[in-house]
Amino acid sequence: MIQKIDHIGIAVRSLAEARSFYEQALGLTCERIETVDSQQVRTAFYTCGEVHLELLEATDPESPVAKFIARNGEGVHHIAFRTDGIEAQLRAAESAGTKLINAEPVAGAGGNRIAFLHPKSTHGVLMELCAPSGDASTD
């Protein structure tokens, strides 16, 4: 079951430059910087109430985030839903005819297991499902 919006992913060209906006202009505090190899990104996390912001900087020019920026420029990249059962959620989406980018969960930031749904199936929004790695239903 989807529990809440966990975070909004924002593609940026330079984490350092974007951080200076988020920290100096908005006054937010960066909680952690983390490289996520499976997604070829370096991320910076901020908390805004119950929702996090995940800034994404590509670590490889051929990575999905680099291609996204080349196509669309910087901006909102994905919306992530927290679910208490990522496998079941993925199978339900698949059964409903949704095109999956990740047929099985992969390692995401913050020790989460994540999987993306293709924007062609979601009315134009890249969607991520995420669950803590301790999620029993994913074992």
Residues lying near Co ion in the complex (CB under 5 A):
9, 54, 80, 128
Whichever of 56 and 97 has its CB closer to Co ion, that residue is: 56
How long, in residues, is the chain?
Answer: 139
**Residue 100 backbone zone (phi > 0: left; psi -120 to 50: alpha; other: beta):** beta
Shortest reach from residue 18's CB to Co ion, in Å: 15
Number of C-beta neighbours around residue 139 at 10 A: 7
Whichever of 77 and 87 has its CB closer to Co ion, that residue is: 77
Tell me the residue nearest to Co ion as measured from the CB: 9
Shortest reach from residue 87's CB to Co ion, in Å: 18
Q: How far is CA 35 from the centre of its chain?
A: 13
Residue 60 gets which letter from DSSP? Answer: S
Shortest reach from residue 63's CB to Co ion, in Å: 14
Whichever of 13 and 51 has its CB closer to Co ion, that residue is: 51
